[in-house]
A and B are shown apart, each in its own frame.
Chain A
Amino acid sequence: MTLALSANGAGNKRMQKSDLTSARIRSAWLFLSPMLIVLAVVAGWPLLRTIWLGFTDANLTDLSQTTFIGLENYYVTFDGEAYGVLVDPDWWNAVWNTLWFTVVSVSLETIFGLFIALVLNAEFKGRGFVRAAVLIPWAIPTVVSAQMWGWMLHDQFGVLNEILLTIGLISQPIAWTADPDTAMWAVIMVDVWKTTPFMALLILAGLQMLPGDIYEAARVDGVHPVRVFFKVTLPLIKPALMVAIVFRALDALRIFDLIYVLTSNSSDTMSMSVYARQQLVDFQEVGYGSAAATLLFLIVAVMTTLTLMAGNVKLSEDPR
């Protein structure tokens, strides 16, 4: 672009400006390049490789014997029967489980996180300590907290059943992670316990940015605090809230460790990632598993776009 401009013999002033701009662009690229290279190596290359493997019949037994088979991992008819990820009921069960898990857990986390953030935003003694303490569940590695909850939820010697039995809420111990009716709820509960602090922290950051004078004005006008929350606080923290929700939703869509530790490959709670791992590792179908992983990537991308679009639409309506 710079070359083209100079060759055209554009005005002196304009050329200087574009020189400066192009110098800035150059240095921007220079500063960005380390990150871009790292991204390409650790994210771009594996992603492209996974997409490529999805079109092959790669098998863990012998990865050197890999042939291109087109879309057969996704859909193929054979003797009148359809095969492939797209017609595998287990895959769609996993997709459904993941979406259900994401919607329920992220909604609960948003509500609880908002509540906690509002409390933490208030002035009280020992606020710094409480803020730090709230983060503890989030700081524990997922595998550790999942195993911990696995023991607490155990039907025979779990502490949760012991408490509920003692206070008389249940008469028989409940097998939380084994019973198909409770397994998904157990997973959701542990996830909410673990990631609500993260949500609260992001929302709290949004709350701290709000100017105090609006609230003063509302107080002078004698507006009810609940009305203030819905008319002032919520619209103002919406951008921060949207970012937090998108972060969490992205995270929830690729949930693996929590489910794998609590309920392993059980079909009641199998998520898309658990399905892909089972194909890749347990069944050694690197090609088929990669196809599933590619679909997982596409679904996450679509969901993110949709969430962002929904968030933007609402945001642009706000000024009216």
Chain B
Amino acid sequence: MTLRQTLLAGAVLTFAAAGSVSAAELNIACGTVGKGQQLCKEAVAEWEEKTGHTVNVISVPTSTNDQLALYQQILGSGSSDIDVFEVDVIWPGILGSHLLDLSPYTNGAETDHFPAIIENNTYKGKLVAMPSYTDAGLLYYRKDLLEKYGEDKPATWQELTSTAQKIQDAEREAGNEKMWGFVFQAKAYEGLTCDAIEWVDSFNGGSIVSAEGDITINNPQAAEALTMAASWVGTIAPEGVLNYQEEDSRGVFQSGNAVFMRNWPYAWALSQSDDSPIKGKVGVMALPKGGEEGKQTGALGGWQLAVSKYTESPDAAADLVMWLTRKEEQKRRAIEGSYNPTISSLYTDEEILAATPFIGQLQDTFTNAVARPSRATGANYNKVSNAFYNAVHEVLSGKKDAATSLEDLERDLKRIKRRSW
């Protein structure tokens, strides 16, 4: 065994010394929530078998902010420690200068994907990332509980509030002490920006910064949306929601202790797994409107795969990215992990629709999702998002009222912007 390893290591070294590409060793970071990592490992193993390269799958933090910080440190120092990694939809503007141009490797595959995502992944004319899956915020609800209390699916946030309160009170009366009405993500991090932009947009309050780069967040509709959200904390949502990320809220919902949950599509496959206490009791719908004049919306999320510019084997790394984002793989991920494909033709695929019905039903939500202002604000996006989620967090935790907080936020955003983004 040891001898074999030594020989193998020797062989790898010889190849490396000879500058051969036939035995590249790559490091990939992929999949942090839900079934992502398992699906990624399976696909990577297939590719290893096909090509003879070696790939190490690395674990990274679950919070997108922490991941970004990690990649910024690694890429900022020009290190080749990670070759291939997942890139959030808001990152191409921030990390773009460190990423490899993939267009020489795609053979035109990018034309199959949604054009908006490809445009998002284009940094200074270079295609820096290939789409892996797309996301939009969704509302999960307990079919069995709504039926039990004769309630309809909520069309507006106001209806959601009263339904959640009613069922929560009734369930607690019946001895279900831990029942909550609604869980979401309200920790001061990127996830709160997604949740809050959905509330604001559903009230027609815009998207913080307009596509032209104007600061639009200080408006009455946005204040109304945040006031409503603040009223949930401590009534239909536990106070701890102020420190919840995606997996915390899924923990509460999936153990059967919440009526509604705001989360991404990945939570569907897990709620339907065999060990889930709520298997078969869950429904998924688009997020409610903000009042009668409001609109249905969802924050645009989604992840891409990118190759570091500092990789030692760009050809192999780019080939791996193409393998992981190809049509067959996206189909497999949609069926097994409810990850939404980025290839439009897959939205009519019978097998996908059978496994994850909402992918077809909610296609409108996915195509009309509200984008965070990462394109308008470019490299400053992180600061804008940070100012926004901190302002929202202050409203939710009751430290400031919505109007004051938005006024302060507008001033902060102007400071960040100065002359231009």
> Does A pair with B?
yes
Residues of A within 8 A of B (CB): 60-63, 78-79, 81, 83, 154-157, 173-175, 177-180, 263-267, 278, 281-284
* Interface contact A265-B189, CB-CB below 8 Å: yes
Sample of 19 A–B contacts (CB below 8 Å):
A79-B418, A81-B415, A83-B415, A155-B239, A155-B240, A155-B243, A173-B238, A175-B239, A178-B187, A178-B240, A180-B397, A281-B72, A281-B73, A282-B65, A282-B72, A282-B382, A284-B94, A284-B379, A284-B382
A175–B240 touching, CB < 8 Å: yes
- State the total of A-B contacts with C-beta under 8 angstroms: 81
State in angstroms the CA–CA spacing of A81 and B418 once bound together: 10
Give Cα A154–Cα B252 distance, bound, in whole angstroms. Answer: 12
Report how far A61 CA is from B95 CA in the complex, Å.
Answer: 7
Judging by beta carbons under 8 Å apart, are A155 and B382 in contact?
no
Q: How far is the CA of A60 from the CA of B69 in the complex (A)?
A: 11
Report whether A265 and B243 are in contact in the complex, using a CB–CB cutoff of 8 Å: no
Whether B238 and A156, one on each chain, are in contact in the complex, defined by CB atoms closer than 8 angstroms, is yes
Q: Which residues of B contact A178 (CB under 8 A)?
A: 187, 239-243, 397
Closest-by-CB residue of B relative to A59 is B379
Look across to chain B and name the residue whose beta carbon is closest to the beta carbon of A174: B239
Q: When A and B form their complex, which 10 residue pairs have the shortest distance between CB atoms, in order from nearest?
A: A155-B240, A178-B243, A175-B240, A178-B242, A175-B239, A60-B76, A281-B69, A266-B188, A180-B397, A283-B383
A282 x B188 contact (CB < 8 A): no
With a cutoff of 8 Å between Cβ atoms, the chain A residues found around residue B242 in the complex are 175, 178-179
Cβ A264 vs Cβ B188 within 8 A = yes
B4 at the interface (CB under 8 A from A): no
The answer to whether A283 touches B238 (Cβ under 8 A) is no
B240's partner among A173, A265, A283 (CB-CB below 8 A) is A173
Give the chain A neighbours of B239 by CB distance below 8 A: 155, 174-175, 178-179
Chain B residues contacting A175 (CB-CB under 8 Å) are 238-243
Question: What mask results when residues 6 to 32 of chain B are scored 1 for a CB within 8 Å of chain A, else 0?
Answer: 000000000000000000000000000
By a CB distance below 8 angstroms, the chain B residues around A79 are: 418
* A175-B238, A282-B68 known; A266+B97 contact, CB < 8 A: no
CA distance A263 to B415 in the complex (A): 26
Q: Chain B interface (Cβ within 8 Å of chain A)? A: 63, 65, 68-69, 72-73, 76, 94, 97, 178, 187-189, 238-243, 248, 251-252, 257, 379, 382-383, 386, 390, 393-394, 397, 399, 415, 418
Given contact pairs A179-B397, A282-B386, a sample of 8 additional A-B residue pairs in the complex whose CB atoms are under 8 Å apart: A61-B97, A61-B379, A155-B239, A175-B242, A264-B187, A265-B386, A282-B65, A284-B382
Q: B65 — nearest CB in chain A belongs to which residue?
A: A282
Give the complex CA separation of A179 and B239 in angstroms: 7
A154 to B72 Cα, complex, angstroms: 30
Q: Is the Cβ of A155 less than 8 Å from the Cβ of B72?
A: no
CA A61 to CA B399, docked complex, whole Å? 35
Question: Are A284 and B72 in contact, with the CB atoms below 8 A?
Answer: yes
How far is it, in angstroms, between the C-alpha of A278 and the C-alpha of B241 when the chains are bound? 23
- Distance between A187 CB and nearest chain B CB, rounded to angstroms: 13
Contacts of B252 in A (CB 8 A): 156
A83 to B63, CA, bound (A): 30
Most chain B beta-carbon neighbours within 10 Å: one of A81, A264, A278: A264
A81 to B390, CA, bound (A): 22
Closest-CB distance, A160 to chain B (whole angstroms): 12
Report the bound CA distance from A225 to B240 in whole Å: 48
What are the residues of chain B within 8 A of A155 when measuring CB–CB? 238-240, 243
CA distance A283 to B239 in the complex (A): 29
In the complex, the answer to whether B390 meets A267 with C-beta atoms within 8 Å is yes
Which residues of B are found within 8 Å of A284, using beta-carbon distances? 72, 76, 94, 379, 382
**Nearest CB on B from A82, distance (A):** 9
A79 to B238, CA, bound (A): 44
CA distance A179 to B399 in the complex (A): 10
Tell me the complex Cα distance, A156–B383, Å: 31
Of B189, B240, B418, which one neighbours A154 at CB under 8 angstroms? B240
Task: For B69, list chain A residues within 8 Å (CB).
Answer: 281-282
Q: In the assembly, what is the distance between CA of A63 and CA of B75, in Å?
A: 11
CA distance A281 to B95 in the complex (A): 12
Q: A175 CB to closest chain B CB, in angstroms? A: 4
Q: Given the complex of chains A and B, what is the CA–CA distance between A264 and B243 in angstroms?
A: 10
- The interface residues of chain A lying within 8 Å CB-to-CB of B240 are 154-156, 173, 175, 178
Q: Report how far A145 CA is from B189 CA in the complex, Å.
A: 22
Known contacts A267-B188, A282-B65, A283-B382; is-contact A60 B243 (Cβ 8 Å): no
Specify which chain B residues have a CB less than 8 angstroms from the CB of A173 in the assembled complex: 238, 240
Q: Known: A60-B72, A78-B418, A282-B386. Contact between A265 and B188, CB under 8 A?
A: yes
Q: Which residue in chain B gives the minimum CB-CB distance to A265?
A: B188
List the B side residues contacting A179 at CB < 8 Å.
Answer: 239, 242, 397
Choice from B68, B94, B178, B393 contacting A266 with Cβ under 8 Å: B393
Contacts of A265 in B (CB 8 A): 65, 188-189, 386
Contacts of B397 on A, CB cut-off 8 Å?
178-180
A265 to B188: give the CA distance in the assembly, Å.
7
Partner of A177, one of B72, B243, B382, B394: B243
Q: Report the nearest B residue to A284, measured CB to CB.
A: B72
**Assembled-state Cα–Cα distance A281/B187 (Å):** 19
The closest CB in chain B to the CB of A87 belongs to: B415
* Set B76, B390, B394, B418: member contacting A63, Cβ < 8 A: B76
Most buried by A among B65, B239, B240, B257: B240
Q: Which residue of B lies closest to A177 (CB)?
A: B243
- For the complex, what is the distance from the CA of A265 to the CA of B63, rounded to whole Å? 12
Chain B, residue nearest A175 (CB): B240
Smallest Cβ-Cβ distance to B75: which chain A residue: A60
Closest B residue to A281 using CB positions? B69
Residue in chain A with minimal CB distance to B180: A156
B257 to chain A: which residues have CB within 8 Å?
Answer: 156
For residue A174, which residues in chain B have a CB less than 8 angstroms away from its CB?
A: 239
Distance A264 CA – B257 CA, assembled complex (angstroms): 26
Interface centre among A63, A178, A281, A282 (most CB of B within 10 A): A178
Find the A residue at minimum CB distance from B387.
A90
The residue on B at minimum CB distance from A262 is B243
| B61: min CB distance to chain A, Å | 11
Distance in Å from the Cβ of A165 to the closest Cβ of chain B?
10
On whether A62 and B97 interact (CB within 8 A), knowing A178-B243, A267-B390, A281-B72, the answer reads yes
B188 contacts A156, C-beta separation under 8 Å: no
Q: Which residues of A contact B68 (CB under 8 A)?
A: 282
Least CB distance, A154 to chain B, in whole angstroms: 7
Question: In the complex, A81 Cα to B135 Cα: how many Å?
Answer: 40
A172: nearest residue on chain B (CB-CB)?
Answer: B239
A157 to chain B, nearest CB (A): 8
Please name all residues of chain A whose beta carbon is closer than 8 Å to the beta carbon of B390 when the two chains form the complex: 267
